[in-house]
Amino acid sequence: MSGEPIGSSPLRRHNRYADSPIVERPVYDWPGGRRLAVYIAVNLEAFPFGEGLGPDLNPRQPEPDVVNHAWREWGNRVGVWNLLEALDEHQLPAAALMNTAIYDLHPAIARAVRARGDEVVGHGRTNAERQCDMSMRQEAEMVRQCVDRIRAEEGAPPEGWLGPWVNESAATPELLARAGLRYLLDWPCDDQPIWLHTEAGRLLALPYARPTNDIAALHGARLAPRAWVETLFDGFDGMLEASRRRPLVFNLSLHPYLIGHAFRLQPFRRFLAHLADHREAVWLTRPGAIARHVAGLSPGTVP
């Protein structure tokens, strides 16, 4: 055995950002002197029939896995409309993290998002594929296709990106920066926006919370809907209290094939009302607006 002490070798690093304790950073405000920015992300995803990746509600079966495909489709046929109605009830803005396949398979959803004035965030072509499974050339072409399609449909390219399955290759940040993206949501490493280093320039990482994400909580951890809603109340109220000391971002991430069911949506409506009741105390916004605000701060304010 080597005489070298266990753990003496440096760990492999990504070199995207340096260590920065949140308590040692400059304090700044969001618009209106607020300290807690809040954005709601609605994941709009499309899947091919009988192939590719997909979340499993039912135990996976040989393809064609009709049950699992159909419950994802339910989200686009029923669940998303239930969710949008709940958001409209409280006049809450959202960001659509949207596979471009939605334009072809579920065009009414794209029209509804556009009518609400919501931001469209790049989210790949379909959630049946992952960037880590692509060559660099294939990934760059996929990103280009998505940016071009959103530009053609929405009249402007997307400002931000969330990888399908929140997945990256080693080159993803560089490819996104070269494609003109300003921010990404793949790095849930902080409660404030931070700058990532890429060989193509800086890219902003915005908080995208995993523990309270409905797919992590309701599907992964199997929390009962009312128990999940209680975690949202505690998370929001706790961050609102902490934001007296420093600016923070509270993110709520939703998947229509989960949250759109009445037995989940009904208790969740209480939390939406809670958000609406605090609209004067927080900045209810979309991630692109957060990224633009950060870009306008004095250099060195954001790590």
Written in H, E and C, the secondary structure of 221-237 is CCCCHHHHHHHHHHHHH
**139-173: pLDDT as tens digits:** 999 999 999 999 999 999 999 999 999 999 999 99
Instruction: Give the tens place of pLDDT for each residue, 107-129.
Output: 999 999 999 999 999 999 999 99
- At residue 200, what are phi and psi to the nearest 5 degrees? -105, 15
Q: What is the pLDDT of residue 10?
A: 85
CA-CA distance, 114 to 119, in Å (whole number)? 8
Rounded CA separation 285/37 (Å): 7
Angle between helices 262-277 and 80-89 (to 10 degrees): 30
User: In CATH, what class is 23-295?
Assistant: alpha beta
* Terminal alpha carbon distance of the chain: 41
Taking residues 2-23, what's their average pLDDT?
81
Q: Is the pLDDT of residue 223 over 60?
A: yes
Beta strands 95-98 and 119-122, pairing class:
parallel
Q: Which two tokens mark 218? A: 């309701």
- How many beta carbons lie within 10 A of that of residue 65, not counting itself? 17
> To the nearest whole number, what is the mean pLDDT of the chain?
95
Q: What is the mean pLDDT of residues 22-30?
A: 98
pLDDT band at 2 (very low <50, low <70, confident <90, very high): very low
Helices (H), 64-161: 66-74, 80-89, 101-105, 107-116, 136-154
Token code pair at residue 15: 């070199």
User: Could you give the 3-state DSSP secondary structure of residue 290?
Assistant: helix
CA dihedral 165, 166, 169, 171 (to 10 degrees): 140
- pTM of the predicted protein model: 0.95
Alpha carbons within 13 A on the beta-carbon side of 27: 10
> Each residue of 32-51: pLDDT tens digit?
999 999 999 999 999 999 99
248 vs 239: CA distance, rounded Å: 7
Q: Is the pLDDT of residue 1 over 50?
A: no
Burial annotation 155-192 (CB, 10 A radius, 16+ → b, else e):
eebbbbbbbbbbbbbebbbbbbbbbebbbbbbbbebbb
Mean pLDDT of the 203-214 span: 95
Q: What is the mean pLDDT of residues 234-259?
A: 98
Cα dihedral 187, 190, 191, 197 in deg (nearest 10): -70
pLDDT of residue 6: 56
The answer to whether residue 22 scores a pLDDT higher than 60 is: yes
Question: What is the crossing angle of helices 262-277 and 225-242, to 10°?
Answer: 20
